[in-house]
Structures are given as structure tokens and as C-alpha cells.
Amino acid sequence: MAEQNFPQGTLMAGKRGLIMGVANKNSIAWAIARQLATQGAELAFTYQGDALERRVRPLIEGIGADLMVQCDVTDDASMDSAFAAIEKKWGKIDFLVHSIAFAGKEQLAGSFIEQTTREGFLSAMNISAYSFVDAARRASHIMNDGGGMVTLTYLGSERVIPNYNVMGVAKAALEASTRYLAADLGPRGIRVNAISAGPIKTLAAAGIGSGRHMFRFNKAAAAMQDNTDPMGVAGAALYMLSDLGLSCTGETHHVDGGFHAIGMPQEAPLKASLGIES
């Protein structure tokens, strides 16, 4: 199926930015990258390792980008060399997209209390929350004043979602970090925001236990009675990273078809989704 884009425009013309977290064409970071490119942005990409390079390279070449550096966010030397490569090529950047998270599969199934190990907790926090603080600091050193940063989060930070477990705790830390980063960088006109996306079928989402139930329940219970369109997430990122989002910072913005707003789902779609007859 051909990838959908918003109409071409110039909202990001003359701006350069780094996209962290494209693994394949289903990645949320890729949906965001495409829309930024459609609006004239020049993009650089990090990819996690050699296995992903062969998936990511053809994608980025397809949008005319060529700056692509390997980066494991748990490794300081890898972060050092990735940001050094971007500074060497471009000098300055205008925005950062952080779309990275990880928790071991065994942490994402069953009860939070029994499944959460010290190692699993620290690893989820490191990759899914600290990596944004680290990337934001490094990016801020080469970012023009007036730039923007966006990270991706999920409602599991605010409410209990079965099996999301330690990732919910990491997302809460990520959202709090977004506010602290916004305060630190605000005086330079750099805005830092988070998008709380509803469930989208990606590699990362596949790691969460009872994924099928999550998609069915979200569709039935969301205000829009549909799952989240990655284009909506990309549109929100475009707003936050362009001048459309002036004065918006420290925000966690939900793009989830209104799922977060519902206290009690409508009876009929819920029963249909759960296969209950009466």
C-alpha cells in the first residue's frame, strides 16, 4: 500500500533535524519523518544496529536523505560518535524526534509486582526515559535557539494498562523529564513536548502481552471508535516542531482517538469487541 502523506508545504523549510527510532516502515518515527520531509525539512537518522540498517537505508534514501548514523542509546561512546557525526556534517540542528523505548518481553506480560526485576526496571528506565534526557542535552548543544524536541509516550504512564507494567513507569518518568527539559530549554526558545499515542501496530507494540485485546478494546472504547492513525501522530509532531506550535512546551498531548477522555466505554461497541451477546 502506498504511504500516505499530508499535502506538500513549507512549514519546515530551511530546518534540519535528527530522527531517532526508525526501525522499519511501520515505526512511528518514520510516519513523523515523512511528514517533516513533505514540509521541506532536511533529516538525519540514527538506527540502533547493523540489523536495522538494511531496513532503514532504503526508506531514507526514498525521501532523499543520506545522513544516517548507528546509535545505541545505552552506550555513551555510541551517543558521542552519533552526535559528533551530525555536528561535523551540519554544525547546527533545529529539532529532535525521540521515538525509542524498550523493555524485556518477560517484563511486559503478567503482573507488575511479580515480573519487574531490578535489571528490567533499570533497563526500561535507561532506554525509554533517560535516553531522552541524554539525547536532549546533546541535541541542545548543537540546536539553534527556537528549536523543538518531541518524544513518544503512552497512556500507560497515567493509568494501569494490563501487561504494560514497567514501561508505564518509564513513560511516567519520560513525561516528567519532558517538563523539566522544557523548563531548562525554554529560555532559549526551544520547546519540548511529548505525544501520547494510542496503540499502533509496530515492532515495539508487538512485544506487549495481549496486544490483540489492546487493539480491539481501544477501537471499541475510544471516543472515535477507531484505532490511532499514525498520520495523526505525525501531524501533532509537525505542529510541535514547526512554528504552528509556538508557545506550546512541556505538554503531553494525546493522539489516541479520544481514548484517554473516556471514563466508561459505550455498551454496544464494547460488547461487540468482547464477543458478548446480551
Footprint of ligand NAD (CB under 6 A): 21-23, 27-29, 48, 52, 71-74, 99-102, 127, 152-154, 197, 199-200, 202-205
Q: Which is nearer to ligand NAD, 9 or 49 (by Cβ)?
A: 49
CB 151 within 8 A of CB 174: yes
- How many Å is the Cα radius of gyration of the chain? 18
CA atoms lying within 13 Å on the CB side of residue 137: 10
Closest CA to 20 of 89, 93, 91: 93
| Least distance between ligand NAD and beta carbon 59 (Å) | 12
Question: Catalytic annotation on 154?
Answer: yes
Longest dimension (CA), the chain: 65
> Which member of 130, 154, 180, 239 is catalytic?
154
Q: Buried b / exposed e across 139-168, counting CB within 10 Å, b at 16+?
A: bbebbeeebbbbbbbbbbbbeebbbbbbbb
> Which member of 130, 164, 180, 239 is catalytic?
164
Q: Hey, which residues does 152 pair with through a beta bridge?
A: 195
Q: Which is nearer to ligand NAD, 123 or 273 (by Cβ)?
A: 123
Closest CA to 98 of 177, 25, 159: 177
Question: Catalytic annotation on 239?
Answer: no
Cell digits of residue 97: 524526534
CB 196 within 8 A of CB 155: yes
CB 102 within 8 A of CB 204: yes
- Cα dihedral 132→133→136→137 (10° resolution): -150
Q: Which is nearer to ligand NAD, 12 or 108 (by Cβ)?
A: 108
Write phi, then psi, for 102 (nearest 5 degrees). -160, 140
Cell digits of residue 56: 532503514
- Active-site residue set: 154, 164
